[in-house]
A and B are shown apart, each in its own frame.
Chain A
Amino acid sequence: MLSLQNLHARVGDREILKGLTLEIPAGEVHAIMGPNGAGKSTLSYVLTGRPGYEITAGSAELDGEDLLSLEADERAAKGLFLSFQYPLEIPGVPALTFIRTALNAQRKARGEAEMSAPDFLKRARACAADLKMDFDMLKRPLNVGFSGGEKKRMEILQMALLSPRFMILDETDSGLDIDALRIVSDGVNALRGPDRSLLVITHYQRLLDYIRPDRVHVLADGRIAASGGPELALELEREGYDKYARAA
């Protein structure tokens, strides 16, 4: 599914990714953990094509297709989704309008027919119910005046409606209380499947109790410093990132 080889990226003069190699096969959930400043968010932005990052070496492919030469919206149409750590507010644009416009833009880019308004509304209602969101909230301008937890739920709702192949969750657990964490995790788990993969970026093991990863990687100083099974997350929880930060 996703294949990253020796990826180097910089912002201005500062090199942040320094030869990152990672394979995430279809159907798997991988977690990336690491200390602050290790390059976790940079990785999510480089993968999704945010302007301002310069790729100096390496490659990134989704199902054998080069991602780095594509615009952000072209990557989205290929099925790449990023749940933002800090979702943006879009004044004056109701959430439903935003999501439907995005969905149909993606479908158009893939040469598929647009989804009709009634079909879309039916799906949106169902997704909102799954995530225990008040449907009226979807008629309000996207994220404007929403709490941190509400914004995170709205991200997962968008993810469910856009049904991407490869999903990146960037610190989705931050700002969520225990109940919300469970609801959001259930929403994410419902999207798991043999043809879909997930990259979970988090500081804490807590989220991984709900979204069980197949593999856990430690990102330190722009590289994968260690990889292992779910037990690695528990070890990190006990011992911290110190030895990786030192090694780097």
Chain B
Amino acid sequence: MVAVKDTVDQVAGLEKYEHGFVTEIEQEFAPKGLNRDTVAFISAKKEEPEWMLAWRLEAFERWSAMESPDWARVSFPPIDYQDATYYAAPKTKVGPASLEEVDPELLRTYEKLGIPLREQEVLAGVTGAPRYAVDAVFDSVSVVTTFKKELAEAGVIFCSMSEAVREHPELVRKYLGSVVPVSDNYFACLNSAVFSDGSFVYVPPGVRCPMELSTYFRINAAGSGQFERTLIIADKGAYVSYLEGCTAPMRDENQLHAAVVELVALEDAEIKYSTVQNWYPGDPETGKGGIYNFVTKRADCRGDRSRVSWTQVETGSAITWKYPSCILRGRESVGEFYSIAITNGRQQADTGTKMIHLGEGTRSRIISKGISAGRSSNTYRGLVSAHPKARGARNFTQCDSLLIGKTCSAHTVPYIEARNGACTFEHEATTTRLSEDQLFYARQRGLSEEEAVQLLVNGFVRDVLQELPMEFAVEAQKLVAISLEGSVG
């Protein structure tokens, strides 16, 4: 209740895209273009062992022979992969430093973005900020990771991927690419060759991670892409909740964010993964600029009774192409997908999930809320499949679309495959237009048009917002309101 009001209050004071600023900082770049040398350059910058470079080069060879996929309901001109930079890093210390070593300009950037990097302040409650650990990734490198010591005491490893490759090679070698194989798809393969930074999390058996973990991705440099790689492993009986946030400056050019996220849940483990994606969406009138968000996210519920829950709030990006999925391998494992995807202006989104039921008695649940406004296009694409051994598999899917205005579109493309006779799949879908009658009713009670739309939309997405960690739910609610500014009238 307070949150709804909060939204209504705060929205008036916010600009359309408030994270669109650029940080002036000296950066170093890889030479433009993409070839074996680029891959070697990145690997050397990160002081990687030989096996990692070999892994990258193999991915590069495979990618060179692949073609960009064209099955999604999105359109964009061909990307010139030679006209981009694959590594950009602040010219200070590479790799995670202690807070004292981080460039003050960077600290100011995160302050401006509202990301708490100062542990003392968080601990002392000075900023009133929630207590969660942050890995801050700026372009291609992680600049700092907070609360590492406290987490280490609980046995939890939380660090940048670059550091994990150097410090925990046995874990990385065991799990990297085990959920999303190198050549899984075009963008995942590209990522495997040139991935820069992302987070690595390992929670040992029986440990409940003592705080929320989060990674904050920031694209800053022009002409570069971001190739995040994140790997989270919850060992037997472990629990972890993780959140990623993303923003970028406003630029006229399109920038590529091709990430790969792999989650592994062993026996009785649980991972909650939440995303609040607010990349720059491009100019709402001309469609110029904005991030191409081509992301592969997949979880492997490897152990019996393991559980993975994806929650995503997708508001930014010019194009979103993303299907966080669960492979339900372990017996009675559970996969969940809760999604809010908002498109406005000229944005295009093709997003959904795959629930692959392999094990007996596996269950999954999909709640998707798509909102389209302006001249945007919003597609839900999902697959629910049960393999012959997945007897007793159950899925419930609910897929709701809300249209605001008359120039947007919503599409729902569900695929259902049942290869045994003992599974139960339910699918419900609705498409509605924001009703003039509801709007008038709310306005008669005193709400302005903008406030009325926000309230109705917040009601529409409520089921999903409730799945987010408390602090982020409030944040996400504000974001929903901002994303729809100017969508009526």
User: Would A91 and B443 be within 8 Å (CB), given that A101-B8, A104-B5, A117-B1 are in contact?
Assistant: no
Give 21 pairs: A residue, B residue, CB < 8 Å, sorted on A. A49-B443, A72-B440, A73-B444, A73-B447, A76-B445, A82-B444, A90-B438, A90-B455, A91-B459, A92-B459, A92-B460, A92-B461, A92-B462, A94-B1, A97-B455, A99-B445, A101-B447, A101-B451, A102-B442, A102-B445, A105-B448
Closest chain-A Cβ to B337's Cβ sits at a distance in Å of 19
Q: Is the CB of A158 within 8 A of B459?
A: no
A82-B443 Cα distance, complex, nearest whole Å: 11
List of A residues within 8 angstroms of B4 by Cβ: 93, 97, 101
Contacts of A49 in B (CB 8 A): 443-444
Besides A49-B443, A76-B443, 16 other A-B contacts (C-beta < 8 A): A49-B444, A50-B444, A72-B440, A72-B444, A73-B444, A73-B449, A75-B444, A88-B438, A89-B438, A90-B438, A92-B460, A92-B462, A93-B462, A97-B4, A105-B8, A105-B446
Q: Is the CB of B447 within 8 A of A105?
A: yes
Asked if A90 contacts B442 (CB within 8 A), the reply is yes
Given A88-B438, A88-B441, also A102-B2 (CB < 8 A): no
Task: Point out residues on B near A: beta carbons under 8 Å.
Answer: 1-2, 4-5, 8, 435-438, 440-449, 451-452, 455-456, 458-463
Contact of B459 with A141 in the complex, beta carbons under 8 Å:
yes
The CA of A73 and the CA of B435, in the complex, are separated in Å by 17
Q: Is the CB of A92 within 8 A of B446?
A: no
From A75, A87, A94, contact of B441 by CB (8 A) = A87
B480 to chain A minimum Cβ distance, whole angstroms, is 12
Asked if residues A76 and B444 are in contact (CB atoms below 8 Å), the reply is yes
B443 proximity list for chain A (CB < 8 A): 49, 71-73, 76
Known: A93-B458, A97-B1, A101-B4. A76 touches B446 (CB 8 A): yes
CA distance A89 to B438 in the complex (A): 7
Chain B residues with CB below 8 A from A88, complex form: 435, 437-438, 441
Q: Is chain A's binding surface mostly helix, strand, loop or mixed?
A: helix
**B446's contact among A87, A90, A106, A117, by CB below 8 Å, is which?**
A106
Q: How far is the CB of A71 from chain B (nearest CB, A)?
A: 7
Q: Within the assembled complex, what's the spacing in Å between the Cα atoms of A96 and B441?
A: 15
Contacts of B447 in A (CB 8 A): 73, 101-102, 105
In whole angstroms, what is the CA distance A73 to B452 when docked?
Answer: 10
Q: Lowest 10 A-B CB distances belong to which pairs?
A: A92-B459, A106-B446, A102-B445, A93-B459, A92-B462, A72-B443, A76-B446, A88-B441, A97-B1, A102-B446
- The distance in angstroms between the C-alpha atoms of A87 and B462, with both chains bound, is 21
CB neighbours (8 Å) of A172 from chain B are: none
Q: How far is the CB of A141 from chain B (nearest CB, A)?
A: 7
Q: How far is the CB of B271 from chain A (nearest CB, A)?
A: 27
Q: Does chain B have a CB within 8 A of A100?
A: yes
* Chain A residues whose CB sits within 8 angstroms of the CB of B459 once the complex forms: 90-93, 141
Which residues from A are CB-within-8-Å of B1?
Answer: 94, 96-97, 100, 117
